[in-house]
Amino acid sequence: MALRWREPIIFADKEFNYTIASGSQHERLDKYLAAQKGLTLSRSQIQKLIEDGQVRVNDQLVPAKYQLKIADQIKVIVPPPPVNFTQAEAIPLAIIYEDNDLIVINKPRGLVTHPAPGNRNHTLVNALLAHCDHLASLGAPLRPGIVHRLDKDTSGLIVVAKTDPAYLSLVQQLKERTMEKSYLALVNGAIKNEQGSIEVNIGRHPVNRKKMAVQAAGNRGKTAYSEFRVIKRFEKYTLVEVIIKTGRTHQIRVHLSHLGHPVVGDQVYGKKDIIAAKGQLLHAYKLSLTHPESGQRLSFTAPLPADMAEIISRLK
């Protein structure tokens, strides 16, 4: 299902019914429903429906971990998505690729990915609503089709789903780490090794809740894994490629700062620098994924922003 933003929309509950046959017994209820293509819902969304009493087995409420039995009758009621009040805005987009299932954008530095409280306009989503005649309903109301995000001051490639099946496929690729995302970053100082990896837990800063921080062993936080290699060395700076295997908030910026080599221009995790960068010099330059419909492997690249390229050129 996809939301068409240029037409009046009338939403109603949808009902799905399943009868468990041999081969599906003993499977968890939430896992079974998440695999049903007609539902096009993620496992977490299925679990939310179960918690809200929208799923019944043999006309009884059961938990998500319920183990199915042969001949069980399952009824699922899917309520309509929340009404989207996000306004379409005619903001220019640098489109790298587009078809009926997805769109790949080269996001400029300074553009927020999606609306949030206190910042509901002038975002990538506002621009997409003006450009696309449909986006995936999943992620709504403020993040329709948004599979992953880039920080406001990070430029580069971002993929957005235009249909619900595409959304679920891309989210699964992220989860299984088969979607590959590579970044270029200009960092302070000379990184010692030519290549390496960083694997430390990242969580909210204990004092400044707007920041992320490396978490000590045993503390809260989520595993974050990045790989890097040196592309070019300068007198006081290093240009590195960073490949992320997880997608934690501010992951690259926190990891590089943890190494002692913060991204040039990073106002949160960096330091004052003689380079007058307009923003952090971090660019998502390469993206590889499997097309949700055709199964074809696709790879995209985006050139460096002009100011970042000019700064690097000066350093040479």
Cβ atoms < 10 Å from Cβ of 49 = 19
Contact indicator for 160, 107 with CB cutoff of 8 Å: no
Helix runs in the chain, H state only: 29-34, 43-51, 124-131, 164-176, 251-258, 306-315
Closest-CA residue to 264 (of 287, 228, 236): 236
pLDDT at 79: 83
Q: Kindly list the averaged pLDDT for each block of 10 residues, start to end, along the chain of length 316.
A: 41 82 90 87 88 92 94 90 71 96 96 79 91 84 87 96 94 93 96 93 82 77 92 96 92 94 93 82 98 97 95 90
Q: Which positions are annotated as active-site residues? A: 151
pLDDT at 198: 92
pLDDT at 230: 97
Tokens coding 215: 């978490």
pLDDT at 7: 40
Contact indicator for 128, 160 with CB cutoff of 8 Å: yes
Report the predicted TM-score, pTM, of the whole model to 2 decimal places.
0.75
The domains located in the chain, with CATH, are 2-78 (3.10.290.10), 85-175 (3.30.2350.10), 183-284+309-315 (3.30.2350.10)
Specify whether the backbone of 23 is left (phi greater than 0), alpha (psi in -120 to 50) or beta: left
pLDDT at 293: 95
| Chain centroid to CA 226 | 16
